[in-house]
Structure 1
Amino acid sequence: MGELGRRAEQLPAGNRSVSRALDILELLAHSERALGLAEVARRLDLPKTSALSLLRALHSRSFAALDEEGRYVLGLRSFEVGSVYLRRMTPVRVVESELRCLTDELMVTSHFAVLQGNDVVYLAKHDPPQGVVRLASSLGARLPAVSTAVGLAQLAHTGLPAEARTPSLLEQLAQVRQAGHAIDAGGTVRGIQCVAAPVFNATGCCGAIGISHVQQGGPTTSVVVPAVRNAARRASAVLGGACPVPEAAV
């Protein structure tokens, strides 16, 4: 008996059926082709009769569908349920926990901003506790995108309007895109460094997670960059986004 089979056998009968049905959905979701009954049963180490019963139940509720050759694929209901999850998992809601973790870990101000026209608007923010340097940025604040790390991190993946394109800015965005993050070393506020990485949902770049800290006496760039990039990657994964940036070494 395979690992999935052993795991299911350890559950009560009712839970066992639910677990096996979920195993089938995951198998169909990760398969690039339709699967026949025999293959489903074999790959999940199930008796054919059990696999057929579960597949029929999933088919009756449209979580599985049959192709023209009688093989199984994910059904429309699976897509509908997944779409509801993505609609409810708004970027702000998802990034909140990542911002808290960054602030707690690095003792810095963390924030999430989105593009609006040529500006970025800050929609979420976490400050470190009292006794640590706190920055005066505020929710709803608006800054020119090209002058901020959170703006550059997004523009590198969304593109620039024609009137804003200059050779130097295009080269800067190409470097940001390749690096997977943007850095503003005192350009917006003197003495303050900002590091940001883009966040993606199913439709593309939907914002950027960033942190701000004093340049003198703050955490080092080698610590901050991977923390920010990996936070953005985790948020993108929850939002169903395909993040083109590789995981940063920690």
Structure 2
Amino acid sequence: MTRHTLRSAPSSPSPQESGSPPATATGPVIGRALRILGAFSAQRPHLSLSELARRSGLPVSTVHRMLGDLLVWGALERDAQGRYRIGLRLWEVASLAPRSQGLRERALPYLEDLSSLVRENVQLAVRDASEVVFIERIAPSCAVPTLTRVGGRLGITTTAAGLVLLAHAPAAVQEEALARTIPRHTPFTLTDSGRLRAVLAQARTCGYAVSDRQLSTDTLSVAAPVTTDDGEVTAAVSAVVRHGSTSVGALADLVRSCGRAISRALDTPDL
């Protein structure tokens, strides 16, 4: 990167000499790179140069200059139409995140077992602030369509996995989540904080949570916690089935069994 000096004030130390990062109208280099990467979404996985500039809020010249480094490192790739997309190298680095790597590997055999029993969507999720992030998903060809994907985020109150994680989150996190305006995805979406508090209390008592048509009108999800050896809820396992296809009780038994099996696997030391 080109080094700039302050010609108008030669007696003052440059940002490099003082140890502080260079300040520009568009922010530090890392911040600009993150804004470019953050422009991508599940709905917009391929973006042109002008789209990247518009969505990141950076000048076209700045984005064009930084794209070279991002492409060389592998954070971005170009498709046949010349548009940009997230690169494989970035995915490789992201897969090293400790909350997804070991957890996913230990959980996967049990998720596959649950999927073979319910023959529907099976998911593993963790909490990030007031959102739920899905780190694994198994979806047979006959499974009901869902709005979730690996690496995707959703509001924590609209899915069973999110409700389980929120039920065992610190009180401050719960209060923040319940104080937010909750978007209504369907007529069945719970948006009242009082009703949601009751759902969270029931999840702690019963050991599972239910999201009945909250995200889409044809799905029902049931989730159970995954705990560490000290009792901390570190993740949630859920099954998403077609609404009316099975009883909540039967599904809850299977999901809770899966959650307990994953919890035991997490406590097993590596050989």
Range into which the TM-score falls when normalised by the shorter chain: 0.5 to 0.7
Secondary structure at the aligned position of 1:158 is classed as coil
Separation (CA, whole Å) in 2 of partners of 1:115 and 1:167: 22
Pick one of 227, 235, 240 that aligns with 2:262: 235
- 180 and 140 in structure 1: CA distance in 2 versus 1, 3 angstrom threshold: same
Counterpart check, 1:185 vs 2:201: no
Offset at residue 107 of structure 1 (A): 0.7
**1:98 matched residue in structure 2:** 110
**1:202 matched residue in structure 2:** 229
**2:60 matched residue in structure 1:** none
Contact 1:106 1:219 in 2 (8 A): no
Cα displacement string for residues 117-150 of structure 1 (whole angstroms, at most 9, x for unaligned residues): 110011001112x345454521111001111100
Pick one of 125, 130, 145 that aligns with 2:156: 145
Counterpart check, 1:163 vs 2:139: no
For the aligned residues, what is the CA RMSD? 2.5
Contact 1:89 1:239 in 2 (8 A): no
**2:201 matched residue in structure 1:** 174
Separation (CA, whole Å) in 2 of partners of 1:221 and 1:233: 18
Pick one of 129, 133, 137 that aligns with 1:125: 137
Separation (CA, whole Å) in 1 of partners of 2:194 and 2:170: 13
Counterpart check, 1:154 vs 2:181: no
TM normalised by structure 1 equals 0.56
Cα displacement string for residues 153-195 of structure 1 (whole angstroms, at most 9, x for unaligned residues): 1111123423335443332211110010000010111110000
- 88 and 202 in structure 1: CA distance in 2 versus 1, 3 angstrom threshold: farther
Cα displacement string for residues 18-39 of structure 1 (whole angstroms, at most 9, x for unaligned residues): xxxxxxxxxxxxxxxxxxxxxx
Cα displacement string for residues 74-111 of structure 1 (whole angstroms, at most 9, x for unaligned residues): xxxxxxxxxxxxx9982211111111111111111100
Amino acid in structure 2 at the alignment position of 1:110: V
Secondary structure at the aligned position of 1:139 is classed as coil
Paired residues in the alignment total: 154
Contact 2:199 2:209 in 1 (8 A): no
**1:108 matched residue in structure 2:** 120
Contact 2:131 2:156 in 1 (8 A): yes
Structure 1 regions of 5+ residues with no counterpart?
1-86, 242-250
Separation (CA, whole Å) in 2 of partners of 1:238 and 1:196: 18
**1:33 matched residue in structure 2:** none
TM normalised by structure 2 equals 0.52
Counterpart check, 1:211 vs 2:210: no
- 102 and 159 in structure 1: CA distance in 2 versus 1, 3 angstrom threshold: same
Separation (CA, whole Å) in 2 of partners of 1:132 and 1:164: 30
